[in-house]
Amino acid sequence: MTAPRTPKIPYGGDYNPEQWPAGTWDDDHRLFTRARVDTLTVGVFSWSLTQPAPDTYDFTVLDRVLDRAAAEHRQVCLATGTAALPPWLAKRHPEVNRTDFEGRRHRYGQRHNFCPSSPAYRAHATAMASRLAERYAGHPALLAWHVNNEYGGACYCDLCAEAFRAWLRDRHGTLDALNDAWWTTFWSHRYTDWDQIEPPNALTEHWRGPDHTAFQGITLDYHRFTTDALLGCFRAEKEALRAHDPDTPVTTNFMGMFRPLDYHRWAPHLDFASWDSYPPLDAPPTWPALAHDLVRGLKDGAPFWLMEQTPSTTACRDVNPLRRPGELRLATFQAIAHGADAALYVQMRASRGACETYHGAVIGHAGRDDTRVFREVAEPGAELEALGDAALGARTPARTALLFDWDSWWALEISDGPSRLVRYRDVVHAYYRAAREVGADVDVVPQTADLTPYEVVLAPVLYMIKGDLATRLEAVAARGGTVLTTFLSGRVDAHDRAFLTDVPGPLAGLMGVRVDEWDARPPEVTQTVTLGGLRTHARLVFEIVLPRGAEPVGTYGAEPVGTYGAEPVGTYGAEPVGTYGADFYAGTPAVTRHRHRDGEAWYVATALDQPGVDWVVRRILTRHDLLGPYAGHPAVETANRVTPDGRRLLFLLNHAAEPAGLTAHTTATDLLTGERIERHDPLTLDPLGVAVLRIQ
């Protein structure tokens, strides 16, 4: 099953009419019509309303909400409401409340406050999902099911300890296998009974917080267990929905690059992917773009839904700047450019109280339609209405893949060395940004993805190598493609055990290098790296690289280690492309390229700054003719989608505060203005402007 079938891109957002007197609903729908809002997400936090007591269900308000939506010809994404417990459930079953990392059993409060291993929670949540599906399956307003909301958080209670032990028995089979996987001969940790195993937290294996653990294996497995425990809650609710409604698509809203949960493990269980976009305040445009492409990659490139974004400001940070004029429209079309087939907001009407009083809303507390925010919501609403189904179902024809791996993320950042300052997302984003800013479409995919469609595979900080990935990467290069990886790659296996071979482990042959030593330094210590005519900088980790097959020398002079002679590079070792400029390893390779049959493998041995990353990635993309037509305009984002009938759409987004003067590279029609553009015509994008070009 795929995303809901709609005649246009759904437009709207989270609507909580239960917070308001019924008289307000008339104004809401009048304003929704003016803003071209056709889709409402309802019931997200309605559990205490629809089930005020253990044996009492009351759907009076929800009936009116859905019936009114249908009468107004609007669609509803109906939530199960199980993300926040009703107070009576926590009082009646205290074990549904989570125990935190410090070992404290919480009392009732906040949201995301349930233990995923609690039988009481599972029973009541699935009962609620079942009641909702039984009542609303076939309702004329129902478009999709929205299970729970923004799953997240871990629990360390006794119920989770028991569930973890059961999960470990299923994963490892025997205690001997578990002891080997966790390397428990270290520090006398060998387990002789499953009951001896405790969840890794501040009272057991950790110090100074969740990322400081004495045994990476057990902590890594607890991350995996938490992912599966929460996924089990989702699957149970989905099964309850399916028992009464086999046809309506089911999703839950993710949070993009959210570290606690491995969304790749969830993907097969979603009918369509959806996510909530709230990028960091100082993030460049490529940060939300990376998250969009990651979510699109969860379902093998199928379109996703943008389930939430703010129309103006958030309310969850210490300082919450306002979106500037034009930024909302630009963000909405950026999501669509990267594969979104819906654009929804949080929230439709501003909350009168509690912690989201100041969260942005389409309709403010005064209920006006003459505010700047309302006008800026209405503008893309009208444009999407005019766009119709032109982009629906369109996919991204990427020839570049970026590997994104939660296991590598977790294992890297819980590693006790060489540097706790390396941040997985930051390094991955640097390489993604370099590709996107020169116009390459990028698929963000898991380690298990089929790599045959891609000419370039970027795999930065590929810390953990699982399954046959190394062989499949070699195949990419063998057929003429290019593979890139970086420092701290190929270090550990699926259990977070070091490979008993030269670094970068299974990738060493492909990369043509060997790494015996690595130097970690504070962030203020930088190294110059020379890349052709560019002198750039690097920091944090400096791996000392030997071309594979070369013997280490006693001293490191100004020349790269090893000699090449007449031997083809592909059979001897990698050639230096960039070199360090200081310390005892001055002149040794910082960036290498290795010919592997018909292709190439690049190894970047240090954390280059963005200009250095840009230089390397541009060289690789140029080899495959993958630079976009507007690669010389880094502020102009481009993205391609191809419709089911084979038409190509090119999205142009100007992220600059100044106009962008371009020259059309082909004949096209701008679907937002209806203007026909001939090849070589001047093409000007307004500041924060958008064009959607249908290529002729």
- Spell out the SS3 assignment of 660-694: EEEECCCCEEECCCCCEECCCCEEEECCCCEEEEE
Whole-angstrom distance, CA of residue 295 vs CA of residue 304: 7
| HSE-up (13 A, CA, CB side) for residue 660 | 24
Is the separation of the CB atoms in 146 and 79 below 8 Å? yes
Tell me the pLDDT of the chain averaged across its residues.
95
Q: How would you class 192 by CB atoms within 10 Å of its CB: exposed for 0-12, middle for 13-18, buried for 19 or more?
A: exposed
φ, ψ for residue 618 (rounded to 5)?
Answer: -65, -40
Within a 10 A sphere around the Cβ of 622, how many other Cβ atoms?
12
φ, ψ for residue 396 (rounded to 5)?
Answer: -95, 125
> pLDDT tens digits, residue range 242-300?
999 999 999 999 999 999 999 999 999 999 999 999 998 889 999 999 999 999 999 99
Q: What is the pLDDT of residue 562?
A: 31
Confidence tier at 468 by pLDDT (50, 70, 90): very high
> pLDDT tens digits, residue range 534-589?
999 999 999 999 988 654 433 333 333 332 223 333 345 899 999 999 999 999 99
Whole-angstrom distance, CA of residue 269 vs CA of residue 121: 20
Q: What is the DSSP string of 14-28?
A: E--GGGS-HHHHHHH
> pLDDT tens digits, residue range 584-607?
999 999 999 999 999 999 999 999
Within a 10 A sphere around the Cβ of 187, how many other Cβ atoms?
10
Whole-angstrom distance, CA of residue 307 vs CA of residue 275: 5
Is the separation of the CB atoms in 308 and 13 below 8 Å? yes
Which residues are tagged catalytic? 150, 308
40 three-class SS = strand
Measured CA angle at 529 (ends 523, 532), to 5 deg: 155
Is the separation of the CB atoms in 469 and 510 below 8 Å? no
Q: What is the pLDDT of residue 572?
A: 52
4 DSSP 8-state letter: P
Is the separation of the CB atoms in 492 and 181 below 8 Å? no
Q: What is the pLDDT of residue 556?
A: 33
Measured CA angle at 525 (ends 519, 526), to 5 deg: 90
Whole-angstrom distance, CA of residue 342 vs CA of residue 11: 6
Q: What is the pLDDT of residue 281?
A: 82
Q: What is the pLDDT of residue 571?
A: 41
Q: What is the pLDDT of residue 391?
A: 96
Q: How far is CA 302 from CA 238, 273, 306, 665, in A?
A: 20, 8, 13, 28
Instruction: Locate all alpha helices (DSSP H) within 563-693, ordered by sequence.
Output: 569-572, 610-623
586 Cβ neighbours under 8 A, 6+ residues apart: 556, 557, 558, 579, 580
Q: How many residues does the chain have?
A: 696
204 three-class SS = coil
The mean pLDDT of 131-146, rounded to a whole number, is: 98
Q: What is the pLDDT of residue 557?
A: 34
Beta strands, E only, 553-598: 575-580, 589-596
Q: What is the pLDDT of residue 549?
A: 63
Cross-strand pairs, 654: 636
Q: What is the pLDDT of residue 429?
A: 98
Whole-angstrom distance, CA of residue 560 vs CA of residue 580: 9
Ramachandran bin of 244, using left for φ above 0, alpha for ψ from -120 to 50, beta for the remaining angles:
alpha
| HSE-up (13 A, CA, CB side) for residue 611 | 11
* pTM recorded for the entire structure: 0.96
Whole-angstrom distance, CA of residue 525 vs CA of residue 247: 58
Q: 123: which 2 tokens?
A: 């029973």
Which of 170, 227, 166, 154 has the alpha carbon at shortest distance from 197? 166
Is the separation of the CB atoms in 450 and 459 below 8 Å? no
Confidence tier at 361 by pLDDT (50, 70, 90): very high
Is the separation of the CB atoms in 382 and 36 below 8 Å? yes
> 120-129 b/e with 16+ CB inside 10 Å = b?
bbbebbbbbb
Residue 171 has pLDDT above 50, yes or no: yes
Cross-strand pairs, 345: 13
Residue 43 has pLDDT above 80, yes or no: yes
Lowest-confidence pick of 300-304, 345-349, 555-559, 668-672: 555-559
Q: 623: which 2 tokens?
A: 């080899």
Q: How many helices (H) and strands (E) does the chain have?
A: 18, 27
Distance of CA 378 to the CA centre of its chain: 28
Helix axes 175-182, 216-244, angle to 10 degrees: 120
Q: What is the pLDDT of residue 678?
A: 96
Q: 81: which 2 tokens?
A: 């409401």
Q: What percent of the chain has pLDDT over 90?
A: 94
Q: What is the pLDDT of residue 686?
A: 97
Is the separation of the CB atoms in 163 and 229 below 8 Å? yes
Cis omega before residue 418 (within 30°)?
yes
412 three-class SS = helix
Within a 10 A sphere around the Cβ of 400, how many other Cβ atoms?
23
Which of 191, 693, 168, 217 has the alpha carbon at shortest distance from 410? 217
Whole-angstrom distance, CA of residue 391 vs CA of residue 396: 11
The mean pLDDT of 137-165, rounded to a whole number, is: 98
Q: What is the pLDDT of residue 565?
A: 29
Which of 41, 60, 34 has the alpha carbon at shortest distance from 49? 60
Whole-angstrom distance, CA of residue 675 vs CA of residue 673: 5
